[in-house]
A and B are shown apart, each in its own frame.
Chain A
């Protein structure tokens, strides 16, 4: 399997600001790859480095084995779905989708046909004659997707694609994007700050912080075995426990759903507050001077605020972390 995108010690500095700091990246062909992190972590800059809107201050970028730095975006066989969709307001939907083909010099009938096929692929058949300002947010996003895919790029980049959609629509699009990527086999790289999204869609996730990659791995890896406090904190609402609490000399992460109420043994804790989340309830506890959260199914009888309880977990659920940051 070929490497789709390779970053080798890539940095992008803006004066004294290190937006991307000595990053190594290796995205395999046909992968659905997520770049996850808070705002300002460098993930969007990396995306723009792949697209060609930014040039690295240091390091080497390869796309399918070919050198990419110094190459303008219009010569890269890479297409982007922008966060604000960036549909051309002066063109109809079909002309928007066919834009890339038009630039490449394809004949009118041919490109309109292919554009229509792309619209069908994103489930907007027959929308060709409308204008972008007549579409809803979700529809615009599909058009942006079609406009990118119709050019059959080697890599498709998505910049926070689902951010502006409401919850239901977002979940639906997550499904569709995953199915689409599987059937097309194109390498997808998408940027998001929503860890739930990254976990549910991606084959592999890179977690960014402060211009660097903290960890790369499958969603399970990142979630169950975070290697640093930052990753444990950012991905899922983990309990991050200091070395004194674990007695192991290392920080540990403990997922709230791994904590259970027990009737004997275990650790003593006091219930501080309860949050009803629908299917589950989050109990905020205080144990041994440490704050802990646990999740439990809402149906069970729950202890009252202030009650003293006993809690326990499987030893394997207490994941010790190598990095202390």
Chain B
């Protein structure tokens, strides 16, 4: 919906919108500044001096690397599982009408719609009851569950945009189901799947609430950061890690945006 072509936005509106956007972005930018401060005992503003030494210190902290590596592994596997399950479900829901279709859509969204603490504690007590020890795999189980919806949303949006007659045309020209999937369906939904996968990766990489409940002794990067927030050791190191996390998750989001740009929105804004 566009207003009249010649209308310019009222000044008050422009200021309010700009202020809103600034409110969203300034705090994160602040962290970048704090990553280079020389002060390491408090959050003093303005920073007394600037240095890049904390980058080196962080680089040499083994616990940071361990946490980072665990986060990457968890995110990678959870994303893979989510991509398979999410795509299967999206294909079924967008192509056929069947009994219980709406219920399934609701079911897929539930892990993300309900507060993380509910998912977390439910999984934890279920694992306890079933006597499953907390490990890498329990973390992955939790993550994959709420990552499904991110891939699902992107896949469904793209399936809906893909004309059904393409599949008929392919079959008309001699291709059976598998060939049609390989030569027509996959190329058309590929970028949407990729975008969904990237968002799922970012989501898993960042997740902390469900993870605290499903992890054993392991610490993913967000758990590491939570520890630092509650019991700070070297504040500037936390700042550097925070800055790196922002930069690292910036890229998949941007990529996902470019992959799904023409037409539909990046679905999945229900964290």
- Residues of chain A at the chain B interface (Cβ within 8 Å): 51-53, 72-74, 78-80, 82-84, 86-90, 99-100, 102-104, 147-148, 151
Contact = CB atoms under 8 A, between A and B. Distances in A.
Among A73, A87, A100, A151, the one with the most B-chain Cβ atoms within 10 Å of its Cβ is A73
Given A90-B188, A103-B179, A84 B171 contact: no
Contact of A74 (B163, B166, B176, B184): B176
Given A53-B168, A82-B169, A86-B163, 18 more contacts: A51-B172, A52-B171, A73-B168, A73-B172, A74-B174, A80-B168, A80-B169, A86-B168, A88-B169, A88-B184, A89-B188, A90-B188, A99-B183, A103-B173, A103-B174, A103-B175, A147-B173, A151-B174
Contacts of B170: 88, 99
Contacts of A99: 170, 173, 175, 183
Nearest to B166: A86
Contacts of A73: 168, 171-172
A42 to B, nearest CB: 19
B176 to A, nearest CB: 5
Interface in B153-178: 163, 165-166, 168-176
B165 A100 contact: no
Contacts of B100: none
Nearest to B162: A89
Nearest to B179: A103
Contacts of B165: 82-84, 86
Given A88-B184, A90-B187, A82 B179 contact: no
Nearest to B188: A90
A104 to B, nearest CB: 6
A100 B173 contact: yes
Contacts of A104: 174
A30 B108 CA distance: 54
- Complex A-B, nearest 10 residue pairs according to Cβ-Cβ distance, in ascending order: A100-B173, A86-B169, A86-B165, A90-B187, A103-B174, A73-B171, A103-B175, A80-B172, A74-B171, A74-B176
Contacts of B173: 74, 79, 99-100, 103, 147-148, 151
